[in-house]
Chains A and B, each alone.
Chain A
Amino acid sequence: NAGVTQTPKFRVLKTGQSMTLLCAQDMNHEYMYWYRQDPGMGLRLIHYSVGEGTTAKGEVPDGYNVSRLKKQNFLLGLESAAPSQTSVYFCASSRTAEKANEKLFFGSGTQLSVL
């Protein structure tokens, strides 16, 4: 029962480098999300997907891109990393977001440091 799996767990980048975070879920969930978590702030939604082949912007999408080529996978890309993108990134999934009581299942997080 893997649930939501994120890789890698830690990553250090230099300013301007690019990288991709991988999220995989085995629960056949339609919705997937990428959040960032910073000290003293609530989780902030970067991008989300309501199904295979579809993506949408969240609250803080600038500097990030996403792709959902397969239902079970949701990739988060940083094209040119900046120190402001130093954060903990969480992937999450849910069966749907069209029912208010649907809970989120989170991956274990990725600690990203941009120097």
Chain B
Amino acid sequence: GQNIDQPTEMTATEGAIVQINCTYQTSGFNGLFWYQQHAGEAPTFLSYNVLDGLEEKGRFSSFLSRSKGYSYLLLKELQMKDSASYLCAVMDSNYQLIWGAGTKLIIKP
């Protein structure tokens, strides 16, 4: 079967760095997405990785290792507004998105 695993909840301090991990087992691979979802709101696109390595976009970076079936989202200089759920999704060989349950990130002052 297809499976995406992420931690359910993480807590970090304002100004710090946090890494949210995602491991996957899917039928083929056509890329991995990260979305941010604030409570009661719609998911919004953060990043897309299809090749191994690190993609940096401002305070947010996303890493992919296809051989390990592993990705992480790195958030630097955490701000209170970063409190949200972070959703990992993998596109399989049929271009279908498989979603993880999301990681709720709590930022404390």
Contact with B along A89-102 (1 / 0, CB 8 A): 01000000110110
Cβ of A90: which chain B residues have Cβ within 8 Å of it?
42-43
Instruction: Check if B4 is an interface residue, CB within 8 A of chain A.
Output: yes
The size class of the interface chain B forms with chain A is 20 to 34
Binds B, one of A14-22, A41-49, A64-72, A77-85: A41-49
CA–CA, A49 and B6, complex, Å = 29
Q: How far is the CB of A51 from chain B (nearest CB, A)?
A: 15
Q: Which of A45, A100, A107, A109 contacts B91 (CB 8 A)?
A: A100
Q: Is there contact, CB below 8 Å, between A45 and B48?
A: no
A residues near B61, Cβ cutoff 8 Å: none
Q: Is the CB of A42 within 8 A of B100?
A: yes
Q: Does B50 belong to the interface (CB within 8 Å)?
A: yes
Whole-angstrom CA separation of A86 from B99 in the bound complex: 20
Residue of A whose beta carbon sits closest to that of B47: A103
Identify the closest chain A residue to B88 (Cβ).
A42
Cβ of A112 within 8 Å of any chain B Cβ, yes or no, is: no
A103 partner residues in chain B, CB cutoff 8 A = 33, 45, 48
Nearest first, the 7 closest Cβ-Cβ pairs linking A and B are A42-B99, A106-B42, A100-B30, A103-B45, A43-B99, A100-B31, A101-B48
